[in-house]
Structure formats: C-alpha cells, structure tokens
Amino acid sequence: MPARSTPLQKLGFLTIGLFDEHRPELGHESTLAIIELGEQLGFDSAWLRHRHLQFGISSPVAVMAAASQRTRRISLGTAVTPLGWENPLRLAEDLATVDVLSGGRVNAGASVGPPMQYERVKSALYPATADREDFSYERVHRLLRAVEGQPVSGWSGTEGMEQFSDKAQPHSPGLRSRMWYGGASVRSAEWAGATGLNLLVSSVVKAEESTGFDEIQLSHIQRFRARHRDGETARVSQGLVVIPTDSASNEQTSKYRDYAQSRLARTTQPQGPARMMFAPDLVGTSDEIADMLYDNASFRAVDEVAFALPFSFDNEDYVQILTDIATKLGPALGWARPEQ
C-alpha cells in the first residue's frame, strides 16, 4: 500500500467543451450543465481549456461568465489561456468583469509562447505586427500589471461628459492572488514561483533532466516552491486524466480502457523535438486509482487537483466519471465535500 499524503483539500475538473460545428449551442449548453453538475456534486473548481480554430471552447471567459450566473460556489478557471492569442489589457478587463460577476470565483491560468499553428494564422491574428509580437514572459507581466491595478494609460480625468481611468476597469482586488501559470519546464516552474503566481502542472511535461514523468513533475513543484515567497505552502494544482469505473457499465469500462490503451505509447518516451512526456491515463476503481496516485511522489506533494475529462467521451460518460470522482475517488483521497 503506497504511503498516504495529507488529505486532498481541493477537488476540481477540466473540460474542453466539444461541440458539433453545425450546432455549437448544444456543446456549450452541455458544458454549462456539466459545470452545474460539478457544483451540485461538491467540486471546488471547474476549469476550461482553450481550443482555437477547433470544435472546442474558443472563449472560456465568455463561458465562465455564463456559468457564473448559473452557479454560486464553484470556482471557475482557465487551464490555460495561451496569451499569444490575447491582448493582455483586454483579457484583464474580461477576467476582472467575470470575477466581479461571480463574486470572486475566477482562477485564471495562462501560458506563453507563439500561438499554435502560428504560421497559418498570424496574418489574421496580427496582420501588421506578426513578426514583432513578444510572446515571452513579459506578456504575462503585462496581464498581471493590468490585473493588479497598475496604470495602463498616462492620463486619467474628465473629457466632456465622460470620465476616464488610467487603470483597467473593473478592478477586482482579489484576482491577482488567483492567477496561475501552466508550466511544463524547469524554467517556467522557477519563473512562476519567482513571480508569485500559482502553478498548474498537467499531464504533459518537458523531459529535460529525466524521462520519468513523476520525477520531472516533482522537480517542477519543488523548484517552484523554492522560489515562491510562500515556500512550501505555495499553491500547486495537479492535472491528470483519471477515469474511475465504480458505477460505469461494462460498455463504458471497455471504452475507457481502449481509450487509455490507444494513448499509452506516447507515455513511454519523449515525443517530438520538444521532448514532451505524457502521463498515462489512470483507469480503474476509485480505490485502485487512489493507490496509483499515492504511488506518485508528485501527487503526494500537492493538496489540489483538477482532473481532466477525456476529450472525446459522451455526456453520460462525463456524468458517470464526475459522480464517481466526487462520491468515491475524492473521499478515498481524503477530500471532504464542502457544505452547500
């Protein structure tokens, strides 16, 4: 029996919100219903992943705004927003608006780097500045300065009948403490810690010093906390694909195992020029998955998770998986459902 860690404090889930190109409203409504279900089941957080020029949610912040009006307690996050697609000032306005509407429930995760498929999309995204755009950490700093309420304009005052602020509006004071960085490398983990962000570690990491996924992820967590002002209490949320089968039908269980098997080969060695390592999907009963998680030193180092829902399953599968996570797996990890 693997050694147990401190009880899990926060239980979350992540979805990308797939939809049919010709009926996108159905997929978006399904995503909102899943978030509502998550709140009913007691989940602490629901996270949305960006999908640009694909048939998944391209505007998580807009979906979070809708979800904020249909829920009252669950935190709403992005995991993560690729800032290469965003104007940091405008994003700060949108995030603060949703944070105000939700009563301070936004957890905004971000990452940097050139947008995916940049050579194909850059003329539409940045027609005049594509070759001059800065996709470095400075893009995060621009977002943070706006979120913090630092001046973004050299002037404030009244012009005619209108008043102008030199800061992004609205300002939501608590949002800065709920800003996260999605790190997959040693450098990004260390930078996020030094910058005072929270850290999202997912099922994909760079094989820089090792090819052992758990060893790599634990190193990122340790390096992040070593540079964070909060030290060992700095917030880290781990995201892995877990698929409990406690209440699954035989057909569902077979589908889940086939899905995990189809993705297993990519977990055995680094993939592509960037040498990315993928964690295997965890399929089994909640007790079996709990043992698998506790066998990982990186899991034992955190007390927050955002388990990722598989991309291509059906709505009834997500309902079953979330229900088992909340009623079986969470308690097996020491998580206690919050009072409603």
Residue 312 lies in a domain: yes
Domain count, the chain: 1
Average pLDDT for 123-132: 97
pLDDT tens digit string along 154-200?
999 999 999 999 999 999 999 999 999 999 999 999 999 999 999 99
State CA 243 to chain mean position distance.
18
* 273 lies in some domain: yes
In the predicted structure, residue 255 carries a pLDDT above the cut 90: yes
Q: Within 13 Å and on the Cβ side, how many CA atoms surround 157?
A: 4
In a domain? residue 340: no
Query: Is residue 68 within 8 Å of residue 76, measured between CB atoms?
Result: yes
Residue 257 near residue 283 (C-beta atoms within 8 A): yes
In a domain, 2, yes or no: no
Task: Provide the domain limits for residue 50.
Answer: 10-153+165-332
Which of 226, 160, 170, 174 is CA-nearest to residue 199?
226
Q: What is the pLDDT of residue 1?
A: 44
User: The domain spanning residue 187 has which CATH number?
Assistant: 3.20.20.30
Q: Tell me: the pLDDT tens digits for 43-102?
A: 999 999 999 999 999 999 999 999 999 999 999 999 999 999 999 999 999 999 999 999
193 belongs to a structural domain? yes
pTM: 0.96
Mean pLDDT, rounded, for 9-15: 97
pLDDT at residue 173, as a whole number: 95
Judged on CB neighbours under 10 Å (0-12, 13-18, 19+), 20 is exposed
Residue 286 pLDDT > 80, yes or no?
A: yes
Within a domain: residue 1?
no
- One-character DSSP codes across 70-111: T-SS-EEEEEEEEGGGS-HHHHHHHHHHHHHHHTS-EEEEEE
**Is 3 within a domain?**
no
- The reported pLDDT for the residue numbered 312 is 87
Look at residue 301 and tell me whether its pLDDT is greater than 60.
Answer: yes
- Stretch 254-265: mean pLDDT, rounded? 97
Q: Report pLDDT for 2.
A: 56
Q: Quick check: is 339 in a domain?
A: no
